[in-house]
Structure 1
Amino acid sequence: MGDRPARIYREQPSQPYTRQSQKKSDNFIKGAPAPRVTQYDMGVKNGDFEKTVKLVVEEDVNIRSEALEAGRIAITSHLNKVMDPEEDYFAKILPYPHHVLRYHPLAGVAQADRYYEGMRKPFGRPIGRSAIIDEGQKVYKIDVDEGDVQEARRALERATHKMPVKCRVKLDQ
């Protein structure tokens, strides 16, 4: 089964479902899937860079872990073409996808309402994870030297195409 459209999960929940316990019998969510993000830090972890370029979200949103990973791939593929990943930059994904997304399938055939009477908002089974992001929160940051700021901006602009909401690229000193 493919992913459901992002618009279904875009709004922020009133309370995130994140309960995972050490004892399996205490879990509220059974078998929550792992986030799709493979790594959060790329490039030189201990480098000393002059500038920081960041991607900031312009409204409250849930961002699926698949979208975070797609943005990471867009950033690293562009930066690896124009810079040396061993010494020229440090990129980081800042939010962690804690929120568990759920799905309860309904029958889509005629007279299906008699099967699901009283099941309007059931708990559902976990299908993925997302990060709950507030307006103005940073999603990605890239540390570079003064001469590579434009390439970092281009990389983050490519990542905006993978996000489910409008984003802005900002420069920190």
Structure 2
Amino acid sequence: VRVRLHPFHVIRINKMLSCAGADRLQTGMRGAFGKPQGTVARVQIGQPIMSVRTHDRHKAHVIEALRRAKFKYPGRQKIYVSRKWGFTKFDRDEYEDLMSKGRLFPDGVNVQY
């Protein structure tokens, strides 16, 4: 599993009082920088959130796991099955052809060419 997003963006909150006479105690929006409330990941439309590399025999299990996990993320998420071999830049048939010719060498999660 490769997590492609990390929560580096800090969100802040400017707490306001809501009791009687609060206008004498606070300054409103002057100096409203706020205190850190949490961190979030900034995501663009169509940006991948996570990638999974697996054997073909486990493909159905991974798709089901990602289907269950996508309900934990806000918004509408889609599951794409890539034509690439693992995390390489080669298509599946091209990868098998290059490996049989001895032009690729395994190198961890990637290959040398």
TM-score band (shorter)?
Answer: 0.5 to 0.7
Residues 70-122 of structure 1: CA deviation (Å, up to 9, x unaligned):
xxxxxxxxxxxxxxxxxxxxx11101211111122111223434433432771
Closer, same or farther: CA 120–169 of 1 in aligned 2, 3 Å: farther
Matching of residue 167 in structure 1 with residue 70 in structure 2: no
Q: Counterparts of 2:20 and 2:2 in 1: how far apart (Å)?
A: 49
What amino acid is the match of 1:103?
A: I
Question: Would you say how many aligned residue pairs link Structure 1 and Structure 2?
Answer: 83
Q: Counterparts of 1:111 and 1:164 in 2: how far apart (Å)?
A: 38
Q: What is the TM-score normalised by the length of structure 2?
A: 0.64
Matching of residue 116 in structure 1 with residue 59 in structure 2: no
Q: Based on CA coordinates, which of the two structures has the bigger radius of gyration?
A: 2
Q: In structure 2, list runs of 5 or more residues that go unmatched.
A: 84-113
Q: Counterparts of 2:31 and 2:61 in 1: how far apart (Å)?
A: 46
Alignment-derived partner of residue 36 in structure 1:
none
Greater share of strand: 1
Q: Counterparts of 2:31 and 2:59 in 1: how far apart (Å)?
A: 47
1:31-70 → structure 2 map (5 Å cutoff): none
Q: Counterparts of 1:152 and 1:120 in 2: how far apart (Å)?
A: 51
Deviation for aligned residue 1:163 = 0.6
Q: What is the TM-score normalised by the length of structure 1?
A: 0.43
Q: Counterparts of 2:64 and 2:48 in 1: how far apart (Å)?
A: 17
- More moved, 139-148 vs 119-128: 119-128
Higher relative contact order (CA 8 A, sep 6+): 1
Q: Counterparts of 1:101 and 1:161 in 2: how far apart (Å)?
A: 23
Residues 119-149 of structure 1: CA deviation (Å, up to 9, x unaligned):
2771111122111000000001111111211
CA contact (8 A) 2:4 2:50 kept: yes
What's the % identity of the aligned pairs? Answer: 29
Q: Counterparts of 1:143 and 1:128 in 2: how far apart (Å)?
A: 31
Matching of residue 157 in structure 1 with residue 63 in structure 2: no
Q: Counterparts of 2:72 and 2:30 in 1: how far apart (Å)?
A: 31
What amino acid is the match of 1:118?
A: G
Alignment-derived partner of residue 21 in structure 1:
none
Counterpart selection for 2:8 from 69, 75, 98: 98
